[in-house]
Structure 1
Amino acid sequence: MKRLIAKGLMFGNLIEVTSPALVDRYKRAMKHLCGRETSLTDFHIDISGYSPEIGAELGDDLYLNPNGANRQFILLTTAQKHAPLLNARFSTSRGIIRQFIETNEAQLFALTARDAVAGELQNSVFEISTPAKLLEIRRITVEADTIGGHVADAGKLAKLIERFRQESDGWRDDLLIAEMITLARKTGDVTRVPIHLPQMSFEQPNFWTSHFGGLYVFRDVSFPAVISTLPRESLGPVPIAPVFDLTNRNQIADWLERNQLAEPIVQARGMDAAAVIRQKMDFILVEAADTLGLEIGDARRTELRSIAHRLGTSLPMEFQGLAALLRWIEAGGTWPRITSEHPAYFYTLRARAHKDRDLVNMLLSELAPMDVRQMFIVHKELFYASYARWSDRKRQYVADFLEREYVVDKQGARTALFGPEPGMEDRNRPDPKPARDLGPVTGPWGAARGRG
C-alpha cells in the first residue's frame, strides 16, 4: 500500500496532530472513550478522530468503533469535516459526522479551542451477531461533549441562572450563587456566549455495511430489498424480502429498474459516454492481459489496442459488449442487445440523480469490478481489498492512472462520471422516462433500434 500512500491515493486529507497540547487532549479523550492510551507523540486522524498509526500501535483498527456498531469520535478541530472516514463499517457514518460538524460548527470551533470534543453515533443495537439484528438499526443519534463536560456544565449553569431569576430570594441563596460562580469559571458567561450541542438524530433507511461480508439494505424505496455479496442463504432469516446476492443479476437488474435507481450511461445527460466506455474497455484489457501474463508496457491505449488484436476472439465478453456499444455511439453500428445476462450489462449503467446515488454506484461497482476507477471513487473498502490481491504490475498501472487522471481533478472526474451532486430538487424529482415491463431478462435500452 506504500505506492498508494505516496501518490495520495490512501490516507489522503488526514489531519496531522503534532502539537503537544492537541496530542494531550487526544490522549485524554481516548482514555475517556475507550479506556486506552497511546504513546505516540504525533499521528494523523480522520473525520472521526481515528488514527491509523494508533490503530497499528494497538493492533486494533476498531478502538473507536466497538463491535463495529456504535462509532465513537474525537474532534480536535472542525477541519476534520474535510477528512475521509477510514475503516468505514456503514456507508452513512461519514455523512452523519460531517453534518453534525457543519450544523454546530460555531459551537464546536469555540469548544475545541479549549478541549477535545468526544461523542458517539448511537443506535439501539449494541451487538450485531446476526443480519436480523443489524437490520434493526434505523436511527442514529449523535451525542457529544468536551472531555471536561463543558456542554453539560453549561446546561446546568443555565438552569441555575433561570432558577436564580425566578426565585424572589435567590440573591440570598449563598449555595446557589457559589455553585453558579464555580460553573461560570469553567464555562464562561453562558448568558452572552451560550454553549449548546443539540442531540441530533438521523434516519438510516438505506445503507451499505461491511458486516456479514457486505450488505446493501434498501428500505426507503418502492420495492425494498437486501443485496448480499455472500450467498444469500448464508444470511439466514431477515425481516426484509426479497434478498439477492451478486449472482442474481437478472433480479437485481429488474429491481434497479423498478425502483428507477439506475440509468444507461448512453442516456445520461451531459455525459461523454464514448470516452467513459473507452476507458472501461481499457481497464478490462489490463485485467485480461494481467491474467494471461501478457506484457502491457505503460498500458497506453496503443499498447492496449495491440493486446486486443492478439486476444481476438478470446477477448472478454465485457469488452466485446462495450465495443459493440461504442460502435453504435460513434459509427451508427447495429444496436447492441445487451441484456442483464450479458457480462457487460452493469458496466453500461450509473445511478440516477437521487439521494442514494452514491450507494447505488457502490453496488454497481461490485457488479462491474474491472472498472477500477469507479471502484476507487465510490467504494474505497472494496478497492483496497482488491488492490491487495492484484499483481504488482496491475497495481502500478492502476496507481499511475488514478494519480494522472483522477487526483489532479477529483470533483471534475466525479461529475464527468456520475453527474453533478444531487440537489434538493433532484432528490424527489420524478424521472422523465416511463417505466418498462422488463420481463425475466432485462435490457437497459428497451426496444430501441436507431441512434436518435
Structure 2
Amino acid sequence: MHRLIARGLMFGNLVAVDSPVLVARYNRALAALTGRTTALDRFHIDISGFSPEIGEELGDPRYLNPRGVNRQFILLTTDQARAPLLDATFSISRQILRQFITDNQATLFTLTAQDAVAGELLNSVYTAEAAAQLFDIRRIRITADTTAGTIANAQALGALIDAFTTRPDGWYDDVLIAQMIDLAQKTGDVSRHPLRLTQNEYVASDFWTAHFGGLYVFRDVTHPAAIAVDPDQALGDLPILSQLDFNDRAAIAQFLSENDLAVPVAQDRSARTIAILRYKMDQITAHTAAMAGEALNAVTSRDMHALARRHAQALPAAWHGLAALLRWAADGGPWPRITSDDPAYFYVMRARPGPQADLVNMMLAELSPLDARQLFICHKRAFYAAYAGWPDPMRDYVANMLERDYLGNKAQVRDQLFGDTSRRSGPPPLPARRGPWG
C-alpha cells in the first residue's frame, strides 16, 4: 500500500496530533473509553479519533470499534469533520459523525479548546451475530462529554440554577449556592454560554455494512430490499420485503428501476458521455493488460488503444458492451441494447440525485469493480481489498492515474461521473418528539 500512502490516496487528510497537550488529552479520553493509553508522542487520527499508528502499537486495529456496531470516538478538534473514517463497518458512520460535529459546532469548539470529547454512536444493537439484528438499527444516538464531564456538570449546574431561581428558600440555601459556585468554576457561565449538544439523534434507514460479507439495506424506498454482496452468506430470514444478492443482477436492476434510484450514464451523444465511456474502457484495458504482465508506466490514450488491440481476445464482455455504447455516442452507430444480463450494465449506470445517491453509487461501484477510479471514489474498503490482489503494474497504473486525474480535481471528476450533486445523501436528524399523535 506504500504507493497509495505516498500519494495521499490512503490515510490522506488525517489530523496530526503532535503536541504534548493534545497527546495528553487523547490519552485521557482513550483511557476513559478503553482503559488503554498510547506511548506515542506523535500520530494521526481520522474523524472518529482512530489512529492507524496507535492501532499498530496496540495490535488492535479496532480499538475504538471493538464489536463493529457501536463505534466510539475521540474529538480533539472540530477540524476532524474534514477527515475520512478509516475501516468503516457502516457507511453511515462518517456521515453521522460529520453531521454531529456540524450540528454542534459551537459547543464542540468550546469543549475541545480545553479538553478532549469522548463519545459513542449508540443504537439498540450491541452485537451482530445474526443478520436480522442489523434491522433493529433504526436510529443512532450519540453520547459525548469531555473527560472532565463538562457537559454533565453544565446540566447539573442548570438544574441547580433552576432550583435557585424557583424555590422560595433558594436565596438562603448555602449548600445550594456552594454547589453552584463549585460547578460554575468548572463549566463557566452556562446561562450566557450554554454547553449542551442540541442535536445528537439521527435516522439510520439505508446503509451498507461490512458484516456478513457486505450487505446493502434499503428501507426508506417504495420497494425495500436487502442486497448481499456475497451470495454464499447464509443470512437467514430477514425482516424486509425483498432479499437479493450480487448474483441476482436482473433483480437488482429491477429494484433500482422500481425505486427510481439509478439512471444510465450514456443518455446522449455529448462529449461528457464519450469521455466517461472511454475512461471506463481504459480502466478495463489496463486491468486486462496488467494481469497479462504488461508494464503500464506512463501509458497514454494512444497506448491504451494499442493495448486493447494486443489483448483483444482477453478483454472481458463488459469492455465490449462499453465499446458498443461508445460507437453509438461517438460515431453515430446503432443504439446497443444492454440489459441487466450484459456485464456492462452496471458500468453504465449511476445514482439519481437523492438521499440514497451515495449508497447506490457505492453499490454500483462494487458491481463494476474493474472501474478502479469509481471504486476508489465510492467504496474505499472494496478498493483497498481489490488493490491488494492486483499485480504491481496495475497498482502502479492505478496509483498514478488517481493522483494525476482525481486528486487535483475531485469536484469536477465527481460532477462528470455523478451529475447533479445538489441533493447529497446523508443521515437526517430525528424530528422533535411531539407525542404519539404527532
Tell me which interval the TM-score lies in, with the shorter structure as reference length.
Answer: over 0.9
Q: Deviations over 1:324-353 (max 9, x none)?
A: 101101111011121111111111111111
How many residue pairs were aligned? 427
Aligned match of 2:352: 352
Q: Percent identity?
A: 54
Aligned match of 1:305: 305
- SS, match of residue 10 in structure 2: coil
For 1:21 and 1:139, how far apart are their aligned partners in 2? 35
Q: CA deviation at 1:80?
A: 0.6
Aligned match of 1:57: 57
5+ residue gaps, structure 1, are: 428-452
Q: CA deviation at 1:48?
A: 0.7
- SS, match of residue 276 in structure 1: helix
Moved more, 409-418 or 73-82: 409-418
- SS, match of residue 68 in structure 1: coil
Aligned match of 1:265: 265
Task: Tell me if structure 2 keeps the 8 A contact 1:164–1:170.
Answer: yes
Aligned match of 2:294: 294
For 2:372 and 2:77, how far apart are their aligned partners in 1? 33
Q: CA deviation at 1:235?
A: 1.2
Q: CA deviation at 1:234?
A: 1.6
For 2:270 and 2:186, how far apart are their aligned partners in 1? 56
- SS, match of residue 374 in structure 1: helix
For 1:254 and 1:76, how far apart are their aligned partners in 2? 45
For 1:317 and 1:94, how far apart are their aligned partners in 2? 36
For 1:351 and 1:297, how far apart are their aligned partners in 2? 33
Aligned match of 1:432: none
The answer to whether the aligner puts 1:329 opposite 2:329 as a matched pair is yes
Q: Deviations over 1:151-178 (max 9, x none)?
A: 1111111111111111222222111111
Aligned match of 2:152: 152
Aligned match of 2:46: 46
Aligned match of 2:387: 387
Q: Specify whether residues 8 and 119 from structure 1 end up closer, same or farther in structure 2 by C-alpha distance, changes over 3 A only.
A: same
- SS, match of residue 227 in structure 1: strand
For 2:13 and 2:260, how far apart are their aligned partners in 1? 34
The residue type equivalent to 1:61 in the other structure is P
Task: Tell me if structure 2 keeps the 8 A contact 1:207–1:359.
Answer: yes
Any residues of structure 2 matched to 1:360-371 within 5 Å, and which?
A: 360-371=360-371
Q: CA deviation at 1:92?
A: 0.4
Any residues of structure 2 matched to 1:114-263 within 5 Å, and which?
A: 114-198=114-198, 200-231=200-231, 234-263=234-263
Task: Tell me if structure 2 keeps the 8 A contact 1:296–1:304.
Answer: no
5+ residue gaps, structure 2, are: 428-438
The residue type equivalent to 1:81 in the other structure is A
For 2:65 and 2:87, how far apart are their aligned partners in 1? 9
Q: CA deviation at 1:194?
A: 1.6
For 1:171 and 1:376, how far apart are their aligned partners in 2? 63
Moved more, 261-270 or 99-108: 261-270
Q: Specify whether residues 8 and 326 from structure 1 end up closer, same or farther in structure 2 by C-alpha distance, changes over 3 A only.
A: same
Aligned match of 1:401: 401
- SS, match of residue 290 in structure 1: helix
Task: Tell me if structure 2 keeps the 8 A contact 1:324–1:336.
Answer: yes
Task: Tell me if structure 1 keeps the 8 A contact 2:17–2:23.
Answer: yes
Q: Specify whether residues 270 and 332 from structure 1 end up closer, same or farther in structure 2 by C-alpha distance, changes over 3 A only.
A: closer
Aligned match of 2:80: 80
Q: Deviations over 1:172-191 (max 9, x none)?
A: 21111111111111011112
Q: CA deviation at 1:319?
A: 1.2
Q: CA deviation at 1:403?
A: 0.2
The residue type equivalent to 2:310 in the other structure is R
Moved more, 111-120 or 303-312: 303-312
In the superposition, the TM-score normalised over structure 1's length comes to: 0.91
Moved more, 163-172 or 337-346: 163-172
The residue type equivalent to 2:220 in the other structure is D
Task: Tell me if structure 1 keeps the 8 A contact 2:290–2:391.
Answer: yes
For 2:424 and 2:285, how far apart are their aligned partners in 1? 39
Task: Tell me if structure 2 keeps the 8 A contact 1:14–1:46.
Answer: yes
